[in-house]
């Protein structure tokens, strides 16, 4: 080959077309230009990854990076360094900034905050709420966002700036919103929990002065999630608006989505490593540090959720990285402590451990953590695959390494709130993370000097 490549990676286990190949990846100008068993010739950088596993870079479909506003929780820099640490080369950013991006002007302000900071690639979602019903169609067709996100409740007291524009607080608005969303051509993501039922339950616990942390789970039982999934499936039926149900935590809700899929509906389901690996008992142990919405579930529910990983119904596993400071976790009682886990760095090791334990095939792992999210957000095959012409987004993995997760090894600004993960035993470590040919983590070290090398992505389709 006449032209000198930028980088060649050699390994005896490169994941190409669902097979592990002994061969080489050649990279030029950020793209994969060679895949094969013969050496592709000279390169400026030659990486011998023999004995390591080489996989497509992970695509995390559910990440909150906060900025602008609330940069004490996370910034575009710290959040994307955390992504690089956890092997995510692309993240889908969910709109929980101040204000949430419910029009182009606010979105472009987020671009400004991200540019020059990010170290992995980011695709943004728009917020869809009662503030911007009439703008949803044109915002969606602008080509700048890959989907819309909505919460189905009023803005929590004191957090109006963060939530206004992102919430549809009653069914009238939801139904009107669905008609607008269906015209946008984009997928709708939502947080599916019945807020009326939950608020009723919380008031009952407060009236009884019962602030045991487990009551966070008891106040949001599986029926509160299943009810909302059922309702949204019904309300979106006539428009066939594509819907991705975020962070689904219980099998009854997934069963409803499975049936809708069987009827040909464009509905997708995400779950998270914490619903597959942890249970609600951890609320008693860690209090608000184990608080997320929906809550961790019982062992029975956790186990039953796995059958939908096995049968192919669950489409994606997202981290739902939702960083909060220690102060925000410690404030008041279990009901007013902030809900969310700084989880982006642990999505890889928690799920790869299941591969090593024989619970998850490598094929399903790649599909759930990389290929499917890239497809759903219209970034595939540029992202989510090792193929000629794709972006050279690659992770190099030590698939045998056994270790305990530790807060001290994290990049997230909210690492001190990650107590739930501390000392969890895992197998598999990210050695290097490569974004468009650029090493942002190398030989175990996250490279802070790569600040600003990430790109803001657009959906591949042109309107």
| Site residues (vs Zn ion, CB under 5 A) | 320
- Choose between 189 and 241: whose C-beta lies nearer to Zn ion: 189
- Least distance (Å) between residue 296 CB and Zn ion: 15
Contact 437, 95 (CB under 8 A): no
Residue ranges in 208-272 assigned as alpha helix (H): 214-219, 222-235, 251-262
- Least distance (Å) between residue 87 CB and Zn ion: 20
| Euclidean distance between the first and the last CA atom of the chain, given in angstroms as a whole number | 38
CA distances from 201 to 195, 220, 345, 364 (A): 10, 8, 33, 38
- Least distance (Å) between residue 456 CB and Zn ion: 20
- Choose between 321 and 436: whose C-beta lies nearer to Zn ion: 321
Element housing 446 (H / E): strand 445-446
Contact 90, 376 (CB under 8 A): no
Instruction: Tell me the C-alpha distance between 383 and 357, whole Å.
Output: 27
- Least distance (Å) between residue 96 CB and Zn ion: 7
- Choose between 320 and 393: whose C-beta lies nearer to Zn ion: 320
Instruction: Tell me the C-alpha distance between 259 and 288, whole Å.
Output: 35
- Least distance (Å) between residue 94 CB and Zn ion: 5
- Choose between 248 and 446: whose C-beta lies nearer to Zn ion: 248
Instruction: Tell me the C-alpha distance between 304 and 311, whole Å.
Output: 12
- Choose between 25 and 272: whose C-beta lies nearer to Zn ion: 272
Q: Provide the sign of the torsion angle of the four alpha carbons 258, 261, 277, 323, taken in this order.
A: negative
- Least distance (Å) between residue 46 CB and Zn ion: 40
- Choose between 28 and 216: whose C-beta lies nearer to Zn ion: 216
Residue 314: CB atoms within 10 A of its CB come to 25
- Least distance (Å) between residue 262 CB and Zn ion: 27
Instruction: Tell me the C-alpha distance between 13 and 435, whole Å.
Output: 19
Would you call 261 exposed, middle or buried from its count of C-beta atoms within 10 A (0-12, 13-18, 19+)?
middle
Coil, helix or strand for 273?
helix
- Choose between 117 and 320: whose C-beta lies nearer to Zn ion: 320
Q: Which residue is nearest to Zn ion (CB)?
A: 320
């Amino acid at each position: 080959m006449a032209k000198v490549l930028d980088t060649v990676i050699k390994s005896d286990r490169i994941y190409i077309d669902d097979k592990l190949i002994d061969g080489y990846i050649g990279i030029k100008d950020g793209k994969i230009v060679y895949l094969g068993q013969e050496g592709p010739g000279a390169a400026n950088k030659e990486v011998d990854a023999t004995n390591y596993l080489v996989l497509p870079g992970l695509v995390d479909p559910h990440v909150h990076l906060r900025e602008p506003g609330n940069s004490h929780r996370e910034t575009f820099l710290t959040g994307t360094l955390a992504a690089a640490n956890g092997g995510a080369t692309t993240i889908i950013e969910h709109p929980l900034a101040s204000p949430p991006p419910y029009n182009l002007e606010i979105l472009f302000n987020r671009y400004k905050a991200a540019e020059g900071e990010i170290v992995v690639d980011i695709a943004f979602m728009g917020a869809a709420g009662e503030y911007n019903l009439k703008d949803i169609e044109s915002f969606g067709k602008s080509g700048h966002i890959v989907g819309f996100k909505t919460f189905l409740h009023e803005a929590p007291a004191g957090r109006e700036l963060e939530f206004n524009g992102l919430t549809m607080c009653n069914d009238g608005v939801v139904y009107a919103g669905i008609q607008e969303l269906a015209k946008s051509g984009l997928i709708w993501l939502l947080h599916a929990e019945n807020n009326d039922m939950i608020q009723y339950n919380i008031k009952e616990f407060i009236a009884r002065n019962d602030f045991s942390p487990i009551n966070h789970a008891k106040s949001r039982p599986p029926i509160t999630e299943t009810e909302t999934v059922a309702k949204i499936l019904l309300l979106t039926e006539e428009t066939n608006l594509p819907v991705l149900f975020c962070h689904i935590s219980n099998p009854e809700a997934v069963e409803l989505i499975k049936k809708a899929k069987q009827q040909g509906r464009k509905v997708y389901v995400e779950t998270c490593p914490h619903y597959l690996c942890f249970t609600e008992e951890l609320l008693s142990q860690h209090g608000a540090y184990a608080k997320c919405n929906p809550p961790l579930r019982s062992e029975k529910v956790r186990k039953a959720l796995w059958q939908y990983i096995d049968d192919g119904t669950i489409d994606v596993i997202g981290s739902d990285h939702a960083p909060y400071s220690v102060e925000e976790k410690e404030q008041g009682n279990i009901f007013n402590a902030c809900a969310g886990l700084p989880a982006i760095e642990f999505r890889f090791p928690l799920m790869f451990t299941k591969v090593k334990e024989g619970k998850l095939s490598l094929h399903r792992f790649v599909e759930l953590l990389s290929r499917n999210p890239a497809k759903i957000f219209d970034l595939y095959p540029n992202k989510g695959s090792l193929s000629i012409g794709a972006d050279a987004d690659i992770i190099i993995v030590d698939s045998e390494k056994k270790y305990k997760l530790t807060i001290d090894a994290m990049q997230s600004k909210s690492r001190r709130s990650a107590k739930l993960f501390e000392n969890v035993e895992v197998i598999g470590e990210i050695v290097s993370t490569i974004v468009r040919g650029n090493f942002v983590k190398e030989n175990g070290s996250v490279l802070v000097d790569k600040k600003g090398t990430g790109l803001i992505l657009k959906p591949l389709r042109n309107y």
